[in-house]
Amino acid sequence: MLVMESKPNTLCVFAALAVLFIVIAGCTGTAPMQPASLTAEKTPAVDVSDNRTRVVDEAGAITFAGTFSPVIGSEKIVTDANNRFAFDLYSRLAQDPRYAGSNIFFSPFSISSALAITYEGARRTTADEIQTVFHFPKDDAVRRLGYAGMYNALNSRSTGYTLHTANSLWAEKTHPFLSEYTGMAHQYYSADTTNLDFNTQPEESRITINQWVENQTENKIRNLIPVGGITPLTRLVITNAIYFKGTWVKQFDKNKTADADFSMDSGTRVRVPMMQRTDKDAVYLYAENSELQMLSMPYEDAGGKKLSMLVLLPKGNNLTAAEASLDAGRLSALEQKSASRRVMVYFPKVNLETEYHLPETLTAMGMPTAFSPSADFSGIDGTQYLYIHDVIHKTYLDVNEEGTEAAAATAVVFWAKGAVQEEPVPVFKADHPFVFLIKDTETGNILFMGRITNPGSS
């Protein structure tokens, strides 16, 4: 079941906010393998097949040293796949009646990163369906080097903004996994593996994983995995976290922010804090057509990757025109028309959190097998005992006069098929009306029968 929580605000700008992480992200035949138990220690840095060595400095920055001969265009191919998934998922969520009139915000890069590691262990129909939904390149070298390059780029420290991402594997300590799989996850996705005791300490394990997520997202994503989300059935959890904080090149004056009407698509108007930048220096990349306006608001970069928020604003309250532009070709055509010019900008402050449980959505998008008893993740542990129980995604967004802070995290939770879970101890608390009988247990003859609606009344 999908669950989403959000603070009501600023509905018409979210066609663009849905692609915020796309802009940020712009920066299998396998031989049989033998199972190998994981160690509790983090995997050390290893040489990758392209002769580079992953190096972590004292500040935690990750770089690759040595000769790098990537597959030509691998990062662009992976980026294009991520963006195609982003548009597909946005369309799916926007058309879902459960989210009618609600804000939508997610990180396609976070979700696709966690599922790319998942895909590495999938086989046969399970792999084919995941590949189709996420548009992953089938070529192992292209996919792996593409993600390795993107990971390296997103973690290249910039003094203009804060941007970093991380992956991790959390494994049941008694379950044997393939060392080839965990080694590959570390080598190309920088995902270290940590053993936990899901069998006897599921709650403690959940807290450990959630603490890692909080640390990676500057405490913005809390309790990614809810109470009960880890059980003795859990065998593996794959997590991704991404965090961004940047300041506008052209900041808004807080003294000019004032409450103003915001018209929702239903026609209802609400009062929201509206920022404004209307001076002669309010120069932005801008384009428009008969249906919508496009504005690009850049973040300070100090020589790093150039990031911006792209806003698609319909000429009216209906989001249809903006959502129709959420296609790589149409968006590119509109961006090519943009020119730098003075714009009178009025933009609402935004603060929201969202939460999605994605099995139903991903199933509808075309990958049902991964969530079923027919799942084949034999590339992870050499067996066909694993299936995906849940894909959890949470986000945080704060847009204010100074800039933007955004965070997201994804957890792919694997369970074991056919495992027996201990029945919970039932609680019988007769603190509400009930019916009762007094009967002969040998013959079944009912001697007395009645109901109690108020024990204190005669």
* Alpha helices (runs of H) in 217-311, residue ranges in sequence order: none
Structural element, H or E, at residue 94: helix 74-95
Q: What is the pLDDT of residues 18-46, one digit of tens each?
A: 444 444 434 433 333 333 333 333 433 33
Q: What is the model's pLDDT at position 231?
A: 94
Asked if pLDDT for residue 413 goes beyond 60, the answer is yes
Is pLDDT of 115 > 80? yes
Residue 310 reports pLDDT greater than 50: yes
Which tokens belong to 325? 């532009």
In the chain, where the domains are located: 11-247+350-416
Distance CA 161, CA 355 (A): 25
Supply φ then ψ for residue 158, to 5 degrees. Answer: -120, 140
Measured in degrees and rounded to the nearest 5, phi and psi for residue 410 equal -135, 140
Q: Strand, helix or coil at 24?
A: helix
Q: Is 10 left (phi over 0), alpha (psi -120 to 50) or beta?
A: left
Q: Give the lowest-confidence range in 81-90, 247-256, 308-317, 425-434.
A: 425-434
CATH of domain 11-247+350-416: 3.30.497.10
Please give the C-alpha separations between residue 170 and each of 112, 183, 193, 267, in angstroms, as whole numbers.
18, 14, 6, 47
Name the more confident of 129 and 16: 129
Give the integer Cα–Cα distance in Å for 175 and 263. Answer: 54
What tens digit of pLDDT does each residue of 55-85 get? Answer: 444 444 433 333 334 455 899 999 999 999 9
How far is C-alpha 226 from the geometric centre of its chain's CA atoms?
15
CA distance 359 to 392: 9
Residue 125 in contact with residue 374, Cβ under 8 Å? yes
The overall average pLDDT reported for the chain is: 81
Angle between the N-to-C axes of helices 108-120 and 179-189, in degrees from 0 to 180, rounded to the nearest 10? 150
Token representation of residue 197: 């005791």
- Determine the pLDDT at residue 436: 60
Helix, strand, coil distribution of the chain in percent, nearest 5: 30, 30, 40
Torsions phi, psi for 363 (to 5 deg): -60, -45
Gap between the Cα atoms of 389 and 238, Å rounded = 12
DSSP 358: -
pLDDT of residue 177: 97
Confidence check: pLDDT of 315 > 70: yes
CA 200, distance to chain mean position in Å, is 28
Burial track 260-277 (b if 16+ CB lie within 10 A, e otherwise): eebeeeeeeeeeebbbbb
- Between 3-17, 287-301, 318-332, the lowest mean confidence (pLDDT) is in 3-17
